Chain A
Amino acid sequence: MSALLEVRNVSLAFGGVKALRDVSLDVNEGEILSIIGPNGAGKTTLFNVISGVYRPSSGSVRFEGRELVGMPLHRIAALGIARTYQVVRPFPRLSVVDNVAVAALIKERSLDAARRAAREVVDSVGLGRLAEADAGTLTLTQRKRLEVARALALRPKLILLDEVMAGLTPTEMDEMAQFVLGLRERGIGAVAGIEHVMRLVLRISDRIVVLDAGTKIAEGAPAEVISDPRVVEAYLGAPLAGV
């Protein structure tokens, strides 16, 4: 039985800079894989490759056995891959519910049905009272919730969460962790990019991949990974468990 997502030997260079070198990883159904690494390690670039925004210079990305490289963005979304953006990108002049309805249209035929489905998701992330407000008027925390709501409305099999913890207060981080764990119960796979918050990484991850300067330097169960000397090195010698 092959994995839900198989990334094989993906490399990508911008000009002369190698953003990703020969990166491979698997994600199984309902599994939570965290990708950690310092800023600039290549996490966002990897998400952009998987979701089809960038085309890798070599390597392959397969989802349920289908090759994603070269496929247009919307078809990748239709296969069941959703993503959130590190820098939140709501459609500012659309209402919250319409922001989500855009994604819900992938399963619903009519606009009314999509709006109904969107409304449920909006309520479930706690934005119900703001459903009719323009997304441009939301606060940062509310925008983060909106990102998540749009991803969920696609009813994906896999969610790519780019820097999910960035900019959140400790309480909100706990809520987000709770949400990610909830995905596993619903059988949705998740790839979470996380920069620093090791406490949460250990709590939510089934497995961890460590990226450094575009290269995968470690992979495995959380406990193994944090004791790996190369990982400690990449984090400038700081004892990881204490971060």
Chain B
Amino acid sequence: MALTLAQLTIDGLLLGGIYALSALGFNMIFGVMRVVNLSHGQFVVLAALLAAWAYSTYHVSPLVTLPVAVAIAFVLGALVHRFLLRRLPADTSSQEAVSLTLTFGLSYFLAGAGLAIFGGTFRAVPYLTGAFSVGPFSIGQARLLAFVAAAVLTALLAVFLRVTPIGRAIRATSQHLEGAMTCGIDVDAVRTFSFALGSAIAAAAGCLLSLVYTLNPEEGGIFTLNAFAVVAIGGLGSYAGALVGAAILGLATSYTAYFTNAQLSEAAPYVIFVLVLLVLPAGLLGRRTA
């Protein structure tokens, strides 16, 4: 029993690592733009399907597809912001509802595009199907690879946000909009870049998830909700919180899938995030506004 629990914990944490990467992109877009991007999961799923298609057609590793998918998503994200989101009304009271509806419409569009390109069949990447044995535990090779890659990308992003001027501009804009504007930051450009980068991160997470999940174009909503739950549990805007939230969500998915059934495990993220928010409205590590 203890062994099973430990095995489930390992699996859950590995999964959490990939969720964390996806949630990071979602969190960045929310932090900079205050937009809940309901099309986030569609970027994840389309990238995963691209990776699966590349693997089945050309036997290309998803790690090779990753930079291509990232580049495509970056350009797509930049276009979406430039030509769609930027045109929304600036008055904040209606902006929230309109941006929710817009990204929701976009998610339909992308799901439809995915169906047109990849068809409706579920795809997976039968790559690195073996497992390492560490003592009594078995660790799926694909899962481990995806986790390590996600961890490396997350670390690179953290460095990017701290060291580069554009990274600092992104952090400044999410922490204090007026402050960033008075410091001469071109907020509009930062927003476009953030939306592009956030979408690119989603695509990266998608390529890695293709190693773990079997997906079709209509599964995007699940990943949007996962990213949202991770970020809500950890605290909107908090990057450390997103890591904690992702770990919790990975564990919850892993435990509930084992002890109950796959369907109930789908509902676990919501139950947890609603419970967390009721107790701590700003999330576990969110900034509390006085």
- CB-CB nearest in chain B for A19: B290
Q: Indicate with 1 or 0, residue by residue over A88-110, a CB within 8 angstroms of chain B CB atoms.
A: 00001100000000000000000
Asked if B93 is at the interface of the complex by the 8 Å CB criterion, the answer is yes
- B93 pairs with A93, CB closer than 8 A: yes
Q: Which residues of B contact A136 (CB under 8 A)?
A: 91, 93
Question: Which residues of B72-113 are within 8 A (CB) of A?
Answer: 91, 93-94
CA distance A12 to B288 in the complex (A): 16
Question: Which residues of A1-59 are within 8 A (CB) of B?
Answer: 14-15
Place the interface of chain B in its size category. under 10
CA distance A224 to B94 in the complex (A): 51
Q: How far is the CB of B285 from chain A (nearest CB, A)?
A: 14
CA distance A92 to B91 in the complex (A): 9
Question: Which residues of A108-122 are within 8 A (CB) of B?
Answer: none
Interface residue total, chain A, C-beta cutoff 8 A: 5
Q: How far is the CB of A55 from chain B (nearest CB, A)?
A: 13
Q: Which residues of A contact B94 (CB under 8 A)?
A: 93
- CB-CB nearest in chain A for B288: A15
Highest count of chain A CB atoms <10 Å: which of B91, B94, B288, B290: B290
Interface of B is mostly: loop
What total of A-B pairs shows CB separation below 8 Å?
8
Q: How far is the CB of A112 from chain B (nearest CB, A)?
A: 26
- B290 pairs with A14, CB closer than 8 A: yes
Q: Which residues of B contact A93 (CB under 8 A)?
A: 93-94
- A92 pairs with B93, CB closer than 8 A: yes
Q: Indicate with 1 or 0, residue by residue over A61-98, a CB within 8 angstroms of chain B CB atoms.
A: 00000000000000000000000000000001100000
CA distance A136 to B91 in the complex (A): 9
CA distance A136 to B94 in the complex (A): 12
Q: How far is the CB of B88 from chain A (nearest CB, A)?
A: 16
Q: How far is the CB of A210 from chain B (nearest CB, A)?
A: 23
CA distance A143 to B45 in the complex (A): 48
CA distance A105 to B93 in the complex (A): 24
Q: Which residues of A contact B91 (CB under 8 A)?
A: 92, 136
CA distance A121 to B91 in the complex (A): 28
- CB-CB nearest in chain B for A136: B91
CA distance A136 to B290 in the complex (A): 25
Q: Which residues of A contact B93 (CB under 8 A)?
A: 92-93, 136
- CB-CB nearest in chain B for A17: B290
- CB-CB nearest in chain B for A92: B93
Q: Which residues of B contact A92 (CB under 8 A)?
A: 91, 93
CA distance A188 to B93 in the complex (A): 34
CA distance A15 to B290 in the complex (A): 9
Q: Which residues of B contact A15 (CB under 8 A)?
A: 288
CA distance A93 to B290 in the complex (A): 26
Q: How far is the CB of A53 from chain B (nearest CB, A)?
A: 11
CA distance A93 to B91 in the complex (A): 10
CA distance A93 to B94 in the complex (A): 9
CA distance A14 to B289 in the complex (A): 10
CA distance A14 to B91 in the complex (A): 30
Q: Indicate with 1 or 0, residue by residue over B267-290, a CB within 8 angstroms of chain A CB atoms.
A: 000000000000000000000101
Q: How far is the CB of B106 from chain A (nearest CB, A)?
A: 25
Q: How far is the CB of B127 from chain A (nearest CB, A)?
A: 49
CA distance A15 to B288 in the complex (A): 10
Q: How far is the CB of A20 from chain B (nearest CB, A)?
A: 13
Q: How far is the CB of A77 from chain B (nearest CB, A)?
A: 22
CA distance A126 to B86 in the complex (A): 38
CA distance A102 to B211 in the complex (A): 57
CA distance A14 to B288 in the complex (A): 10
Q: How far is the CB of B89 from chain A (nearest CB, A)?
A: 11
Q: Which residues of A contact B290 (CB under 8 A)?
A: 14
Q: Which residues of A contact B288 (CB under 8 A)?
A: 15
Q: How far is the CB of B232 from chain A (nearest CB, A)?
A: 22
Q: Which residues of B contact A14 (CB under 8 A)?
A: 290
CA distance A188 to B94 in the complex (A): 37
- CB-CB nearest in chain B for A48: B290
CA distance A136 to B93 in the complex (A): 10
- CB-CB nearest in chain B for A93: B93
Q: Indicate with 1 or 0, residue by residue over A147-166, a CB within 8 angstroms of chain B CB atoms.
A: 00000000000000000000
CA distance A15 to B91 in the complex (A): 32
Q: How far is the CB of A18 from chain B (nearest CB, A)?
A: 13
CA distance A93 to B97 in the complex (A): 14
8 nearest CB pairs, A to B = A14-B290, A92-B93, A93-B93, A136-B91, A92-B91, A93-B94, A15-B288, A136-B93
8 interchain pairs, CB-CB under 8 A: A14-B290, A15-B288, A92-B91, A92-B93, A93-B93, A93-B94, A136-B91, A136-B93
Extra 6 A-B pairs, beta carbons < 8 Å, given A92-B91, A92-B93: A14-B290, A15-B288, A93-B93, A93-B94, A136-B91, A136-B93
